[in-house]
Amino acid sequence: MRWLIILLFLFIAVFSGLGFWVYGQFIQPGPLTAEKTVIIPRGVGIERIAILLSRQNVIKIPLILSIAARTIGANKKLQAGEFSFTKNVSPRDVLAILQKGKQVVRRLTVAEGLTNGQILEILNKTNGLVGKAIMPQNEGELLPETYYFSYGDNRNTLIKRMQGSMKRVLANLWKNRIPNLPIFSIKDAIILASIVEKETGRSAERARVAGVFINRLRLNMKLQSDPTVSFSITKGRRELVRALSREDLQTPSEYNTYYTKGLPPDPITNPGRASIKAVMNPVDTDELYFVADGTGGHTFAKNLTEHNRNVAKWRQFKK
């Protein structure tokens, strides 16, 4: 009985000492010399996670993290994803980070005026996204903006967020549009906004360009927008790398606004918030024409005589 008591005492002493050592290792600073991002795969257990973090030099002894996680039952609450670990992070803090599931936030910026095909290409090249993207059939349903996502998010989920953002922006701006516009539906507004988006990249010009097109619609004039002709040729699947010809302008197409009056049947690109707002609140002007001025902007005119002079200047500039 005495030997049993001695052995039990020794066992308790060793176990307690081991426990104190494990706890000391658990709370002390780790070996990481600088902030580091690590991706924890889905479906892996605490042992594999601990080994992965050890190989990434986030923790020193994988067994410490495994024992601690199982002791407090945290192994069943760990999250998969992309996590950022600070310099000298302790195993205790590592476990807290994996439990809270606060992941690294990634950013994807979709520029104004991109087509569905171009956005699809960006999504497919973006690291951290998974799954196949299902694009809308028509242009103009995706809002160009900066979107935030976490590692492992689905591409199609992000597309649905873009569609939801576009619907909310359109609904809000449509309610606040000026009265008596010659556009009678939200679809008309997004079609005209897509044309404005492709016509000018200058924010100060958007409402003025929109004003010109609004005047033309009121007078039942053809819009005569070059980007619509380009779209009639490419259908948005590629950029038209050549200049438009006289034959292009005369080729019958429902998207060719030199050939048909009114708006095209659908948008020609995905316009940004600013272009949509410009269409809903255009500049009050009596201008009917504009042409490039050679500096990235445009020269505007109220009548054809002024416009022809501006066109002649533009042609001379190009020469």
Task: Tell whether 150 is covered by a domain.
Answer: yes
Task: Tell whether 22 is covered by a domain.
Answer: no
Residue found under tokens 């009596």: 286
Task: Tell whether 20 is covered by a domain.
Answer: no
Count structural domains, the chain. Answer: 3
Q: Are 47 and 118 contained in the same domain?
A: no
Number of other residues whose CB lies within 10 A of the CB of residue 190: 25
Q: Are 93 and 125 contained in the same domain?
A: no
For the entire predicted model, the pTM comes to 0.82
The full DSSP string for 227-267 is HHHHHHHHTTSS---SPPPHHHHHS--TT-TTTSSS--SS-
Among 63, 82, 103, the domain boundary falls at 103
Task: Tell whether 217 is covered by a domain.
Answer: yes
Q: Are 314 and 189 contained in the same domain?
A: yes
Q: For residues 301 and 288, is the Cβ–Cβ distance under 8 A?
A: yes
Q: Are 78 and 198 contained in the same domain?
A: no
Query: Between 81 and 24, whose confidence is greater?
Result: 81
Q: Is the pLDDT of residue 2 over 90?
A: no
- Structural domain containing residue 144: 105-165
3-class DSSP state for residue 311?
helix
Q: For residues 30 and 70, is the Cβ–Cβ distance under 8 A?
A: no
pLDDT digits (tens, 9 = 90+) for 69-87: 888 776 677 888 899 998 9
Indicate if the alpha-carbon torsion angle 198, 202, 203, 205 is positive or negative.
negative
Q: Are 296 and 205 contained in the same domain?
A: yes
pLDDT band of 10, cuts 50, 70, 90: low
57 backbone dihedrals φ, ψ, rounded to 5°: 65, 25
Give the Cα separation of 120 and 122 in Å (integer).
5
